[in-house]
């Protein structure tokens, strides 16, 4: 059993939400606020659906409070609503900065046996079969991933432009790496998309449409950089 980070957020009065994610068990870890003892910090966490008009639809919203201890939430996401996302929003009016890390539980297949799966999810399996038999079609996302190494100061094109890209996560090892959409003739980046810190995982934001252009990397250090990515594409 392990947890995968979906990103770090500074809570504010607007909904912020993850890239599409698979999972039902999520964990919130709040950054330490030393002056929070006499304040009531509150927020909300919810499953989110983006409809055909690109509007946020909330599903199974829950109250979120500031805690020193990590807090676990479960969200059951019915089949047919589209991509699952999880969103967070701040509700209080204090001026304290509240940062959180949102994680999803990775469950290995060996953690379950058939009887346990049937007990926990039998009703959902039957529901899925009912929908499937009515001829409802789904558009799955297919993943592509790779790991590679950049030598000191190396520049490298990693991904071509891709109109079918629906989700993109980059992971960095121990070096500082610049992410951009290409390089000019003088070697400088055209547009900087992000700077990957050592040991960081970055999910490209989808709030205003996922970036679908080329991805280039530049190692900013004199040591090797170990990089990986996972890209989810709409099925053909």
Would you say 75 and 15 are in contact if contact means Cβ atoms under 8 Å apart?
no
Q: Which fold has domain 2-106?
A: Jelly Rolls (2.60.120)
Average pLDDT value over all residues in the chain? 82
Mean pLDDT computed over 69-82: 83
Q: Flag whether pLDDT at 228 surpasses 70.
A: yes
The boundaries of every CATH 2.60.120.10 domain in the chain are 141-234
Mean pLDDT computed over 61-70: 91
**Around 114, how many Cα atoms within 13 Å sit in the side-chain half-sphere?**
0
> Partners of 43 in the beta sheet?
64, 90
Residue matched to tokens 């204090």? 94
Mean pLDDT computed over 54-64: 89
Query: pLDDT grade, residue 40 (50/70/90)?
Result: confident
pLDDT tens digit sequence for 191-215: 999 999 888 888 888 766 789 999 9
**pTM above threshold 0.75:** no
pLDDT of the residue at 108: 55
Give me the percent of the chain exceeding a pLDDT of 70: 81
Q: For 35-101, what is the HEC assignment?
A: CCCCCCCEEEEEEEEECCCCCEEEEEEEEEECCCCCEEEECCCCCCCCCCEEEEEECCCCCCCCEEE
Q: Which fold has domain 141-234?
A: Jelly Rolls (2.60.120)
pLDDT of the residue at 114: 47
pLDDT tens digit sequence for 123-179: 455 455 544 444 444 445 567 888 889 999 999 999 999 998 888 889 888 789 999
Mean pLDDT computed over 103-121: 59
Would you say 66 and 41 are in contact if contact means Cβ atoms under 8 Å apart?
yes
């Amino acid at each position: 059993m392990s947890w995968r980070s979906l990103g770090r957020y500074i809570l504010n009065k607007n909904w912020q939400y993850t890239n599409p994610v698979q999972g039902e068990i999520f964990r919130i870890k709040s950054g330490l606020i030393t002056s929070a003892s006499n304040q009531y910090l509150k927020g909300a966490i919810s499953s989110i659906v983006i409809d055909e008009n690109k509007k946020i639809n909330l599903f199974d919203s829950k109250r979120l409070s500031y805690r020193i201890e990590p807090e676990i939430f479960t969200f059951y996401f019915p089949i047919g609503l589209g991509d699952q996302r999880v969103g967070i929003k701040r509700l209080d009016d204090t001026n304290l900065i509240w940062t959180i890390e949102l994680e999803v539980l990775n469950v290995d297949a060996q953690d379950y046996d058939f009887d346990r799966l049937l007990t926990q999810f039998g009703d959902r399996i039957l529901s899925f079969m009912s929908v499937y038999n009515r001829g409802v079609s789904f558009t799955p996302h297919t993943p592509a991933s790779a790991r590679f190494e950049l030598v000191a100061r190396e520049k490298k094109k990693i991904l071509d432009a891709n109109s079918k890209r629906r989700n993109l996560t980059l992971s960095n090892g121990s070096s500082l790496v610049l992410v951009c959409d290409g390089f000019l003739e003088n070697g400088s980046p055209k547009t900087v998309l992000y700077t990957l810190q050592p040991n960081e995982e970055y999910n490209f934001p989808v709030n205003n449409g996922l970036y679908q252009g080329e991805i280039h990397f530049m190692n900013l250090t004199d040591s090797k950089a170990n990089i990986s990515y996972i890209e989810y594409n709409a099925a053909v």
